[in-house]
Chain A
């Protein structure tokens, strides 16, 4: 009752302790740590940059200039995001 039986393949432990599986598990852990550190860092710093642009443009009286400044900024950010998609990723481990 305390522990429901787990359906594990009979040779689970020998496979799980093989160096190949261990390596894949390590790579997976490193990948996700890296990914989430990097992703949060990106989201946070991007918000910070947007806030800075907003601050800078706050007292700018010329509406057209403000609009084009925002547009230029958004374009730059968008391309930076595109490059993140293209950067070589850890996908050739198998």
Chain B
């Protein structure tokens, strides 16, 4: 059985590709087939661990910038599936467990305030989008450098806040996600996020707050 080959994933395309892309002979008729193929890959150990590593010769800023946008898209997609279940009525506060509430700086110059979870996510996504659209922060043209302290000033803040959406989903909507059979996607995306942020030391244990134990589990072998 070819499934056994996956355990040693060392990125030699010849023997990995069958698990990542369907071979020419594989008939993919529905995305259920495709899903199986990617799942096979994602379930094998260390695939994501390797994928988060900085490629040889790459600029760290560029690598982190791409991942900020990627994880922003992940969170957008995952949260999108529970929009029907995460309303100002069901989630009047942006919380993760009863111990953590995240406030949003809704009125600039004033202290941050308590907002509903959907409102928080809406503000957060717009706030990220504004950074991504600003060419002085996320440069677009070739050879235009990133601003000083790009990672500390922007990326860390973005990732720290995106994490809170994962936290809210895990703590308050995991049953819905599970019933819709999206838990593998959520886990994969979140594990990818954790491996990435841990690998580059982007978030502190405090930032992982309510999910610290899960993060430790997911990032240790």
B65 within 8 A of A: yes
Contact of B81 among A24, A43, A84 (CB under 8 A): A24
Q: Closest chain A residue to B90 by CB distance?
A: A9
The residues of A that contact B78 with a CB separation of less than 8 Å are 28
Please report which residues of chain B, range 32-75, place their CB below 8 angstroms from some CB of chain A when the two chains form the complex. 34-35, 38, 41-42, 47, 50-51, 55-59, 62-63, 65-66, 69-70, 73-74
CB distance from B117 to the nearest CB of A (A): 14
Q: Are B38 and A94 in contact (CB under 8 A)?
A: no
Q: In the complex, identify which listed stretch (B161-169, B172-180, B210-218) lies at the interface while the others stay far away.
A: B172-180
Chain B CB within 10 Å — which of A7, A12, A91 has the most?
A: A91
Give the chain A neighbours of B77 by CB distance below 8 A: 27-28, 31-32, 90, 93
What is the chain B residue whose CB lies nearest that of A13? B179
The minimal Cβ–Cβ distance linking B60 to chain A, given in whole angstroms, is 11
Cβ of A87 to closest chain B Cβ, rounded Å: 10
Query: Does A30 contact B31, Cβ atoms closer than 8 Å?
Result: yes
With A9-B90, A78-B62 in contact, is A41–B21 under 8 Å at CB? yes
Is the CB of B127 closer than 8 A to any CB of chain A?
A: no
Q: Are A9 and B85 in contact (CB under 8 A)?
A: yes
Contacts of A62 in B (CB 8 A): none
The answer to whether B180 and A16 have CB atoms under 8 Å apart is yes
Asked if B5 is at the interface of the complex by the 8 Å CB criterion, the answer is: no
Chain B residues with a Cβ under 8 A of chain A = 11, 13, 16-17, 20-21, 31, 34-35, 38, 41-42, 47, 50-51, 55-59, 62-63, 65-66, 69-70, 73-74, 76-78, 80-81, 83-85, 90, 138-140, 142-143, 175-176, 178-180, 182, 185, 188-189
20 additional contacts (CB under 8 A) given A39-B51, A78-B57: A6-B175, A9-B85, A12-B179, A18-B84, A21-B81, A28-B81, A29-B35, A30-B31, A33-B31, A35-B73, A37-B21, A37-B38, A41-B20, A45-B13, A74-B57, A77-B57, A82-B66, A82-B139, A82-B140, A94-B80
Query: What are 30 contact pairs spanning A and B, CB under 8 A?
Result: A6-B178, A7-B175, A8-B175, A9-B85, A12-B179, A16-B176, A18-B84, A21-B180, A25-B81, A29-B35, A32-B38, A33-B34, A37-B34, A40-B16, A40-B20, A41-B21, A43-B11, A43-B50, A44-B17, A44-B20, A47-B11, A48-B13, A74-B57, A78-B59, A79-B143, A81-B62, A82-B140, A89-B69, A90-B77, A94-B83
